[in-house]
Amino acid sequence: MNQAELIQAINAKGISKSISQPVLEALALVIKTELQKGGDVTLPGIGKLTVETRSARTGRNPKTGAEIAIAEKRVPKFSASKALKDAVALSNG
């Protein structure tokens, strides 16, 4: 589901596009800002977004096979809530 489809699905629940689109854009901005600061964002019933630091390591260039240094970096991590996990598990069978 892309952003347009998400907005359309929200509209089907009775919330107009003029409200849902700016709210989604603001939510994305708030989440990005909080994660950039190193904070966590909990979305009740959905899950938690955190920042994880991947340590530096040595990798290989797949084309040449030469070793390369991969620098330490911060990446976003999502952990699904129990409610979301249960909802998905129930819909599968």
Instruction: Give CA–CA dist 61/69, Å, rounded.
Output: 10
Q: Which domains does the chain have, with CATH numbers?
A: 3-91 (4.10.520.10)
Residue 90 has pLDDT above 80, yes or no: no
Residue 6 CA to its chain's centroid (Å):
15
- 40-68 burial by CB neighbour count: b if 16+ within 10 A, else e? ebeeeeebebbbeeeeeeeeeeeeeeeee
Summarised one tens digit per residue, pLDDT across range 9-38 is 999 999 998 999 999 999 999 999 999 999
Instruction: Give CA–CA dist 21/10, Å, rounded.
Output: 9
Closest to 86 in 3D by CA, of 46, 38, 28: 46
Residue 92 has pLDDT above 80, yes or no: no
